[in-house]
Structure 1
Amino acid sequence: MADLSITAANVIASASAARLDGKAGEAIAAGKAVYLDTTSDRWMLADSNSAPPEARRAGGIALNAAALNQPLAVHKSGDITIGATLTPGIAYYLSDTPGGICPVADIGAGEYVCLIGFAKSASVLSVAVQFPGVAL
């Protein structure tokens, strides 16, 4: 398998989802996993094998596309229609592609494990980010 192929226009948060608003620190597409860079106070693309440790822990999923310094809404937790085809019951994790989300089977050696959530259906991901701080 590979990273989810997300159709950005189909990324929709549920009514009960927790979200934050901020600014993008780089170009970000809807549906990408992001983290908050504490130095710049901007949202950046998360990456499971990134050199900066804070980039390995996703803070949520971008709900809209944003260019550098533009407003960005971030889905922190709860259900999201992710705009991709999921396998119900499967855990999805941060991938080693910046902003990517992959199934558990695609986590490779040397990657830091960051659970994004579990698929509730073929289109809905229940987001509950967990980061134990360990690499495979």
Structure 2
Amino acid sequence: MAKAVSKPKTATAKKPAKGKPRLLAGGNPQIAKGDGDVPVQAYIAAVPGWKRDVCARVDALVTAAVPNVCKAVKWNSPFYAVEQKPWFLSFHVFTKYVKVAFFQGALLKPPPPGPSKQKNVRYLDIHENAFDEAKFTRWVKQAAKLPGVRM
């Protein structure tokens, strides 16, 4: 008797519930590119768990520290700029933390602790219940005054 051959199982991407963005690795939401606050708020609303509160707080602190900040979502991450200047900050969600990128972070005093392969970029990893908002706000104000990067 011939043995029945079963089809190999193939991985299928989970489809998000209707109207909800798909979550990528680490819970990072897949949001369409867009300029302005609306896509940034959609990104934040789609972030799961405690990281949503961190992202909302990062957004609120940047918005408060930098009058007329420009926002966009690019590459599934919120980006921030000062009008007519390139981007100075972005953040991205990972499984255990939210990573904030200061594109000219090496010039900040003191520089954020996370090194980068890129000369001027510095990172701040924000873990659950571990966020120095005062230091972060000082870095944001400094970063907004520096030349940003074009993306």
Question: Normalising to structure 2: TM-score of the pair?
Answer: 0.27
Between the two structures, name the one with larger relative contact order (CA 8 Å, sep ≥ 6). 1
Q: When you count strand as a share of all residues, which structure comes out higher?
A: 1
TM-score by structure 1 length?
Answer: 0.29
